Amino acid sequence: MAADPSARRADSPFSRLRPAARVQPWILTYHSVGDPRHDPYGITVSPGRLDRQLAWLRSRRLTGVGVSALLRADACARQRLVGLTFDDGYADFVQEALPVLRRYGCTATVFVLPGRPAGSNAWDPLGPRKPLLTAREIRHVADAGMEIGSHGLLHRHLTALTDEELHAETHRSRELIQEITGTAPEGFCYPYGTVDRRVMDAVREAGYGYGCALAPAAPLGAFALPRTHVSHADRGVRLRVKELRHAWRYGSGYGSGYGPEGVSPTVAPTGGHR
């Protein structure tokens, strides 16, 4: 039987993170924060809508934090926390998202692409082209108290790569982020949200402490954390429905408490852009 990819090595530098294989916390997925018009993928949220979404979380007595902070929290504290993640490392995070997060006393994990510093989202065939964070801006985001994680080097489908390419996307991206921020990242986010055991093993072996997916087909655990996509259309009612759906799928919820221990169903990955 293959080793459980969520198991921690005794010498792992991230063994302090609490395992998430049994009770899945709620983690929200954002991308770009700006003008949501002309966005064919529905991944852009306006600053005003982000403000209202964080206000809704506050009304539920929930505080947004980065994933590492969420995983370190004990079971009682975690019921009052929700993970906030921003994929792709768009440059608009500095001007648009960061002020809103600060207003509500929230932190977040920003998953960047160190292989595309100051580049753009060239992987999106339909555009529009958006600039990505520069190395200097990534340092600024880290200095502002946000967690910096890896999204790989170039935003590629990791499950389709050769072993050599996968090694570069996981190991080299971690090295580059450490060069930029001075700290090796604890988290890895799988581009497009898809992951399998081979990819999880590569991420674990690279030294990361956790991996974020969307709706992973692989067994859930610290290296296949499910997340909830947030769009500009999401207001209070829609967010509440997504919260309840997450609780139903993964055995955890907020306000009504967590689900029973050991509930971690396997679901198929979703398609689309991530």
82-98 pLDDT, tens digit per residue, is: 999 999 999 999 999 99
| pLDDT score for 218 | 63
The residue-averaged pLDDT of 233-248 equals 95
pLDDT interval class at 140 (50, 70, 90)? very high
Q: Is the pLDDT of residue 67 over 60?
A: yes
Lowest mean pLDDT segment, chosen from 28-32, 61-65, 77-81, 188-192: 77-81
Q: Is the pLDDT of residue 57 over 90?
A: yes
Higher pLDDT, 51 or 268: 51
Lowest mean pLDDT segment, chosen from 1-10, 142-151, 243-252: 1-10
pLDDT interval class at 23 (50, 70, 90)? low
Collect all residues with Cβ–Cβ distance below 8 Å to 242 and sequence separation of at least 6. Answer: 228, 230, 234
| pLDDT score for 10 | 33
Q: What are phi and psi of 187, to 5 degrees?
A: -115, 150
Q: Is the pLDDT of residue 11 over 90?
A: no
The residue-averaged pLDDT of 112-132 equals 93
Q: Is the pLDDT of residue 182 over 90?
A: yes
| pLDDT score for 179 | 98
- Taking phi first (over 0 means left), then psi (-120 to 50 degrees means alpha), and beta for anything else, what does residue 194 get? beta
Q: What's the mean pLDDT when you consider all of the chain?
A: 85
| pLDDT > 90: percent of the chain | 73
Buried-state track 172-200, b at ≥16 Cβ within 10 A, e below 16? bbbbbbbebbeebbbbbbbbbbbbbbebb
Cα dihedral 73, 74, 78, 82 in deg (nearest 10): 20
Collect all residues with Cβ–Cβ distance below 8 Å to 238 and sequence separation of at least 6. Answer: none
**pTM for the predicted model, two decimal places:** 0.84
Q: Is the pLDDT of residue 265 over 60?
A: no
What is the three-class DSSP state of 95? helix
| pLDDT score for 238 | 97
